[in-house]
Structure 1
Amino acid sequence: MECFDVTIIGGGPAGMYSAFYSGMRDMKTKLIEANEVLGGRMLHYPEKMIWDVGGVTPMPCEKLIGQLEQQARTFDPEIILGEQVTHLSLQEDGTYILTTASGEQHWTKTVIMAVGYGMIKPAKLEIEGAERFEVTNLHYTVQELEVFRGKHVLISGGGDSAVDWANELEPVAGSVTIVHRRNEFGGHERNVVRMKESSVQVHTPYKVEKLHSADGETISQVTVAHMESGETMFFDVDAVIVNHGMKSDFGPVRNWGIKMGEWTAEVDEQLQTALPGVFGAGDYIDYTNKVRLIAGTFTDAVQAVNGAKRFIEPEADQYAMVSSHNNRFKEKNRALGAAEE
């Protein structure tokens, strides 16, 4: 059985950039993703605008995913989709065997865990009977802004996504109202200020109390209640969007011997977990001064790959040579030059 230098588990930004950078380090690379497509958590927000990636002008998540995938495939790593890794076992020679739910086995010298928060699902609205509206106008994500054009939209939540959706829907929808259980929003400061300065109606601290339906199939009105006084207000709506965070399920990963808290794994300065040769990157790990941005994820990927390279070859350079001087790009640069002529 062929043994890879590094196998990356997870195909989000951390996994995709790890696949690219491991190519810069001339490592034989495999990436395994449980979903049928790459993108990770970003797939939940295809039209959400991404502003904070260095050197990249604002673009929808969907476009950034496509560019990350194109970059990840630069050095032709083996990419396996639709397979969940269920078992990890250390062999006597120090290599690992990864076994997927289908029974397939994959041999590797090192592993990079880029699994984010595991298999994530949105936290549902805890109101009896709410699930029947999920097929009509109760939403847990925003896939297409145009769906809400001209509509009266109520958003429940106060995190990054709730604030971003409010800002992006404000010029599209007929009206946008956001209710949040706390007075303070958890989104990035500039986005919160932008929301409050717009026409978005902000009501805090309130929660969604009841959903009303005139036809039994769609939500036509929402009752919201003040968290302290219990005072209620009523809003006529065409759509309700709920963003109460995500529920995480790491599944069998918790049984692999990696030291984990509720959401993240512990790593050392090389981003190595408690298992030798098993590194982490992205949302899956936590450490002092961790930067929870996509840009920070890229740095994690670099550090994890460098750790894996030196785990296999202790005398290897600490970092890859920059792309402008890296021999791995010579042929690619010539091809780009020829294409421009």
Structure 2
Amino acid sequence: MNKEEEIYDLTIIGGGPAGLYAAFYAGMRDMRVKIIEGKDQLGGFLHTYSEKTIWDVGGLPPMKCSKLIEYLVQQANTFGPTVELNCKVDRFVRLDNEILALYTAEGDIHYTRTIIVAVGRGIAETQKLELQGPIECEYENLHYTVQNPEHFSGRRVLISGGGNSAVDWAIELANVARSVVVIHRNKEFRAMERNVSEMHNITDVRTPYNITQLHGDGRNIRNVVITHMEIQNNVVLEVDEIVISHGYKSNLSDLASCGLKMDDGMVLMSHHAETNLPGVFAAGDCSTHESKVRLIAGAFNDAIVAVNSAKQYLKPDAPKMAYVSSHNEIFREKNRQLPSS
């Protein structure tokens, strides 16, 4: 059997937090694993806010998201999974011998006994600012993400958005900017309550407002008209930088075409991470069930449950979960290789 026809125990579609932790945990369960990632690097959606500080991963101190990605990739490679980058799965089908064949946009076929769908938000597209008229040009000070917070030092910043990213950037930029105004088209923010309270304390929050006009010099926006969503009065703000944080559009329609049952655009799974297709499981932001937790920490739990279910699908008499690392023989030699503290 040539390399192209090798059959893996588990193929993980997606290299974000859920997929990376699934690869590690599957290694603990002595499964032969392949990760297929559509982009040119592992880490998934985390790359869209690589400079943000992450606080809410259990047991880890606050750190830049780029550092968390580094740790996740390092951990995922513990047991040497096969990794395919720049490889987009178009569809998968079950063959007569019950093996699953994954067909890619690049014309390759990958064979596996089980699948974990962990594509996160899919190939996410940024929700661009929409005005009644066209935006005249690509303004240099109109941003859809924050790559370098120091760029905003001493600047008058306007942030438009109501989710966690908008709130987090407002708090972070308030530490370096001359001023930060936050607007949202709704009165309530869709973000962690503690962060929303902090944002109200250190920035100028105006709701419910929407951006309706931009005025600039051809290269930079100089002032912005915001309009109250209820009484329709206009306010003109002088700005140096604008950050639009209106979320992302995701398209997971390819998954539905494979026969997966969807719910509001996400893969419907059971509490055991099972989809409606035997041998196909789901984890992370692409999936949903009634107790779903949409945090990075929740993605890790999804991954564990999905791997355990995949293992028992392949070997029904296998233990329901892996032994914890302190008692797992698979780590005996690896522990010897660690530097002594």
TM-score normalised to the size of structure 1?
0.96
In the alignment, residue 154 of structure 1 is paired with which amino acid? L
Contact 1:20–1:75 under 8 Å retained in 2: yes
CA RMSD of aligned residues (A): 1.1
Matched to 2:232, the amino acid is: G
- Tell me which residue corresponds to 1:20: 24
> Which residue of structure 1 lines up, in the alignment, with residue 340 of structure 2?
340
Given that 2:137 and 2:218 are in contact with CA atoms closer than 8 Å, whether structure 1 keeps it comes out as no
Give the conservation status (yes or no) of the 8 Å contact 2:252–2:266: no
1:273 paired residue among 256, 272, 275: 275
Q: Counterpart in 2 of 1:223?
A: 225
Contact 1:257 1:275 in 2 (8 A): yes
Match of 2:183 in 1: 179
Q: Is the 8 A contact 2:51 2:64 kept in 1?
A: yes
Name structure 1 gaps, 5 residues minimum: none
1:139 is aligned, of 115, 133, 143, to 143
Deviations 1:209-258 (A, max 9, x none): 10000x21211100001111111111111111111121111242220000
Residue 99 of structure 1, CA deviation: 1.2
Residue 119 of structure 1 aligns to a residue whose secondary structure is coil
Of 72, 76, 89 in structure 2, the residue corresponding to residue 72 of structure 1 is 76
CA contact (8 A) 1:118 1:251 kept: no
Q: Is the 8 A contact 1:155 1:243 kept in 2?
A: yes
Among residues 225, 232, 235, which one is paired with 2:234 in the alignment? 232
1:133 CA displacement: 2.6
1:299 to 287, 290, 301: 301
Aligned-partner Cα distance in 2 for 1:26–1:78: 14
| Aligned partner of residue 324 in structure 1, secondary structure | helix
Q: CA offset at residue 2 of structure 1?
A: 0.8
Q: CA deviation at 1:12?
A: 0.5
Q: TM-score normalized by structure 2?
A: 0.96
**Identity rate, percent:** 49
CA distance in 2, matches of 1:86, 1:159: 31
Structure 2 equivalent of residue 88 of structure 1: 92
1:316 counterpart letter in structure 2: A
Which residues of structure 2 form unaligned runs of 5+?
Answer: none
Matching of residue 158 in structure 1 with residue 168 in structure 2: no
> Counterpart of 1:202?
205
Check 1:224–1:201 CA distance in 2 against 1; reply closer, same or farther (3 A cut).
same
Does residue 130 (structure 1) correspond to residue 135 (structure 2)? The answer is yes
CA distance in 1, matches of 2:98, 2:136: 49
Report the Cα distance in structure 2 between the residues aligned to 1:66 and 1:295, rounded to whole angstroms: 16
Secondary structure at 1:265 match in 2: strand
What CA distance in whole angstroms lies between the structure 2 residues aligned with 1:318 and 1:43? Answer: 33
The whole-number CA distance in structure 2 between the counterparts of 1:80 and 1:219 is: 42
Query: How many aligned residue pairs are there?
Result: 336
User: Offset at 1:262?
Assistant: 2.9
> How far apart, in 2, do the equivalents of 1:247 and 1:270 lie?
28
How far apart in 2 are the matches of 1:174 and 1:257? 52
- 8 Å Cα contact 1:258/1:274 also seen in 2: yes
Q: Distance in 2 between matches of 1:132 and 1:40?
A: 30
Moved more, 304-313 or 123-132: 123-132
**TM superposition shift of 1:183:** 1.1
1:107-126 aligned at under 5 Å gives the runs: 107-126=111-130
Q: Is the 8 A contact 2:263 2:288 kept in 1?
A: no
